[in-house]
Structure 1
Amino acid sequence: MRDDDVLLSWQPAPGHGEEVLYALDGPLGRVRLNRPRAINALDRASIDSLHQQLQAWADEDQVVAVVLDGAGERGLCAGGDVRALREAILEGREQEAVDYWEAEYAVDALVASYPKPYVAWMDGIVMGGGVGVSAHGSVRLVTENTQLAMPETIIGFFPDVAGLHPLSRAPGETGTHVALTGAPVGGADAVLLGMADALVPSASKGDVLAALRADPTLDAAGLASVVGGTGHTEGSSRPAPTPTEHPSRPDPTSWLEQQRDWIDACYVGEDAAAILERLRERPEPEAQEAADLVAARSPHSVAVALEALRRAATMSVEQVLAQDLRLGPVFASHPDFAEGVRAQLVDKDRRPRWQHESVADVPREEVLAAFGDRA
């Protein structure tokens, strides 16, 4: 299928720069995150542009459905611009970081409640803030190239953008593993976690767009049937289109599902130290690797993320976003965030010096205080 993207008139939102570009493609409103050198990381300008244009298209009759993708070959979005947030915090402009999160979460809430089909093409890297603008959409397509993660505990933060909403509802304790380790997962695992709807070949993008131009209301199951993909979606009420043959189809096998025995046994409960101890006791090399990952993360982040995950299980997306906004200033003032970003993204020495030696050293009172509670 010919990709007609080059024939479209891609333009920034009125009054904004080219961090995000937009085009009308028949009945489709196309959105392209456009910072490819930064794997389309979301700076404040990107967020403000998205909010303005998505709101405008919500009321535009010509736009029947919205389709999101990312510029470049590496992925949809590597997350938020945390280096800029770190600089603001170190320079005493903490409110600037809080304002950023408030604006970002407003976009995530808009995606979650969007009144029209919102199709996210989640090819390549989809991390952090990239999850927020895609996984809350109504049609979420991943590929064999997808590397999805909520890696915030690596940088002394916590899984935000309401990513804990699907993770808290994932089968068994698979979501807990992903939240605490920050490890990336593939397309089949993203479907298992409830962060995507269907796994389709990366080469099928042109066919997906053509199907949406013909019927912008096609759901994930309908689109997957067009291109020979797989997913955990309800069947479309329409007759299935004739599948298109692609030379390479993604492997639908879920690694997380294969590891459920030790994942479900180890990650239960609300005690991060006990989780780490159980991981250490397991014979599986995958469990040992997970233990090493959890132990290397910010102890404060792991402990608070676990508590936030458990609370998210009874919350709506909007309520999880409100919880995220409550936690943001707590992490902005905690030394682990600036240190984690330094070690991972600024100096890149990968040797953070966390405030606590281990998760066992994080007082329960400190965890509860992050949520405004008392022990």
Structure 2
Amino acid sequence: MDKTSNVWQSETIGRGQSKVERNNTQHKYRNLRIRRCNFDDDDDVLFEEKNNVGIITLNRPKALNALNLSMVKKLYPKLIHWQNVDRKDLVIIQGAGGKSFCAGGDVVTITRNGPAKGAEIGRTFFHHEYSLDHLIGHYKVPYVALLDGYTMGGGVGISVHGKYRVATEKTTFAMPETTIGLFPDVGGSFFLPRLSHKSLGLYLALTSYQLKGKDVAKCGIATHYIPSQSLPDIVSKLIETPKCVEDILKSNSESLESYKFSLSSNIDTIANAFSAPTVEQIVSRLEQKNDEFSNKTLTTLKKMSPISMKITQKQLKLGAGKSLTECLQMDYRLACSAVEAKSSADFYEGVRALLIDKDKSPKWNPPTLEQVTSYMVDQCFELGPNQDLQFNH
């Protein structure tokens, strides 16, 4: 959990040093947001075209390539153009800096001024972000994401739904949203229940556990595993013969058939505990197991937002039977409920504690699982005003 926190904090520091924020601290936040929406950072995403291959580089290395509205608003129309007008043979997306593919989304901008302003900002950001995720999930051009470094939250959304996802020894995957009072969004309700091991997705979602390197491919989040030092050569081959993407990735990937998943010794405990019908019963089963892994997991769960955990458990259960489109629409309703503080303001409190004040002592409300009622959870799933997300690509 500490490593995840440090990544989120690094992302915040990068945003905190932006020129817009330094020069406009005396202005109202609305003016700051408008300037950002007008694409202040011209080079936060770089686009290249070679041999009918589109190459995207997320270019905020000091912020670990964290995804903001400016980037999303550049990515979406370019991908549409490459698909429908230029008709590219292949699209490759990567992160600049050598440390991170994309470490998450810009949650600080949404939350820093509370629900009164955060609701509108959040609805706008998540609408654009989830529309981008949906486009990638239904993209007609072969799409290769190079997950060479941190791949978390929003970074997962712009990669995991694409056809090809390449992990390396530098890959660190996590969905850390329950740490900040949110839920595994960006289609997490779609891909997490479909991982290779029973209940692994819910375990990852509730604990924010980090998977690294070969584990990311072994459980199905990545489709291929290739050493980081080989990526420049792989990219060159893909550009040279883009229509051979399948053969190039397959012939250069390491076989993981004999690789032992790092959680394999605890996978039965995960399957038993996290298949329980309620979060309280998950806790109870871990307490009954009472071994080192279970006790460590319990310690982690006690740090998470109680209402976030209950929302997440229901979200993934429903998502197992939904399409990606339906999952993203459900995620949008949940995201709107979070930014509107419909049942709880834990999203604002979690971001404050981990990323703004950095005291790492969130005051969750409700503070316990027992105090989170079914009504509080259920109303977050209901369709409210301005919460209907439709896709038009």
TM surpasses 0.5: yes
* Distance in 2 (alpha carbons) for counterparts of 1:66 and 1:28: 6
Q: The residue matched to 1:255 in structure 2 has which SS?
A: coil
The aligned residue for residue 220 of structure 2 is: 194
Amino acid aligned to 1:215:
T
Matched, 1:266 2:273: yes
The alpha carbon displacement at 1:105 in A equals 0.3
Amino acid aligned to 1:352:
P
Contact 1:42/1:129 (8 A) holds in 2 = yes
Contact 2:111/2:118 (8 A) holds in 1 = no
Q: The residue matched to 1:168 in structure 2 has which SS?
A: helix
Q: Residues 164-175 of structure 1 correspond to what in structure 2 (within 5 A)?
A: 164-170=189-195, 171-175=197-201
Contact 1:33/1:76 (8 A) holds in 2 = yes
Q: TM-score, normalised to structure 2's length? A: 0.82
The aligned residue for residue 179 of structure 1 is: 205
Q: TM-score, normalised to structure 1's length? A: 0.86
The alpha carbon displacement at 1:269 in A equals 2.8
* Distance in 1 (alpha carbons) for counterparts of 2:50 and 2:203: 39
* Residue ranges of structure 2 left out of the alignment (5+ in a row): 1-38, 384-393
The alpha carbon displacement at 1:364 in A equals 1.6
Contact 2:238/2:245 (8 A) holds in 1 = no
Q: The residue matched to 1:92 in structure 2 has which SS?
A: helix
Amino acid aligned to 1:168:
P
The alpha carbon displacement at 1:106 in A equals 0.4
* Distance in 2 (alpha carbons) for counterparts of 1:141 and 1:73: 15
2:159 to 134, 146, 165: 134
Matched, 1:160 2:185: yes
Contact 1:173/1:268 (8 A) holds in 2 = yes
The alpha carbon displacement at 1:191 in A equals 2.3
The alpha carbon displacement at 1:217 in A equals 3.3
Q: Residues 41-52 of structure 1 correspond to what in structure 2 (within 5 A)?
A: 41-52=66-77
* Distance in 1 (alpha carbons) for counterparts of 2:201 and 2:87: 38
The aligned residue for residue 170 of structure 2 is: 145
Q: Does the C-alpha gap of structure 1 residues 326 and 215 become closer, same or farther in structure 2, counting only changes over 3 Å?
A: same
Contact 2:112/2:352 (8 A) holds in 1 = no
Matched, 1:109 2:134: yes
Contact 2:66/2:104 (8 A) holds in 1 = yes
Matched, 1:363 2:373: yes
Per-residue CA shift, 1:122-145, capped at 9, x if unaligned?
A: 111000000000011111100111
Contact 2:202/2:316 (8 A) holds in 1 = yes
The alpha carbon displacement at 1:220 in A equals 5.4
The aligned residue for residue 345 of structure 1 is: 355
1:92 to 103, 107, 117: 117
* Distance in 1 (alpha carbons) for counterparts of 2:334 and 2:277: 18
Contact 1:299/1:356 (8 A) holds in 2 = yes
The aligned residue for residue 19 of structure 2 is: none
Contact 1:43/1:80 (8 A) holds in 2 = yes
Q: Does the C-alpha gap of structure 1 residues 220 and 343 become closer, same or farther in structure 2, counting only changes over 3 Å?
A: farther
* Residue ranges of structure 1 left out of the alignment (5+ in a row): 1-13, 233-250
Q: Does the C-alpha gap of structure 1 residues 93 and 146 become closer, same or farther in structure 2, counting only changes over 3 Å?
A: closer
The alpha carbon displacement at 1:15 in A equals 9.8
The aligned residue for residue 25 of structure 2 is: none
1:123 to 133, 138, 148: 148
Number of matched pairs? 341
**Greater shift after overlay, 81-90 or 112-121?**
81-90
Q: Does the C-alpha gap of structure 1 residues 185 and 213 become closer, same or farther in structure 2, counting only changes over 3 Å?
A: same
* Distance in 2 (alpha carbons) for counterparts of 1:310 and 1:193: 19
Per-residue CA shift, 1:26-60, capped at 9, x if unaligned?
A: 23200011111111111110110001111111124
* Distance in 2 (alpha carbons) for counterparts of 1:364 and 1:152: 21
The aligned residue for residue 238 of structure 1 is: none
Per-residue CA shift, 1:220-262, capped at 9, x if unaligned?
A: 5641422x42368xxxxxxxxxxxxxxxxxx943223332111
After TM superposition, where is structure 1 displaced by more than 4 Å over at least 4 residues in a row?
Answer: 219-222
The aligned residue for residue 382 of structure 2 is: 372
Contact 2:352/2:358 (8 A) holds in 1 = yes
Per-residue CA shift, 1:205-227, capped at 9, x if unaligned?
A: 0121122123323455641422x
* Distance in 1 (alpha carbons) for counterparts of 2:333 and 2:320: 17
Contact 2:234/2:248 (8 A) holds in 1 = no
2:233 to 198, 203, 207: 207
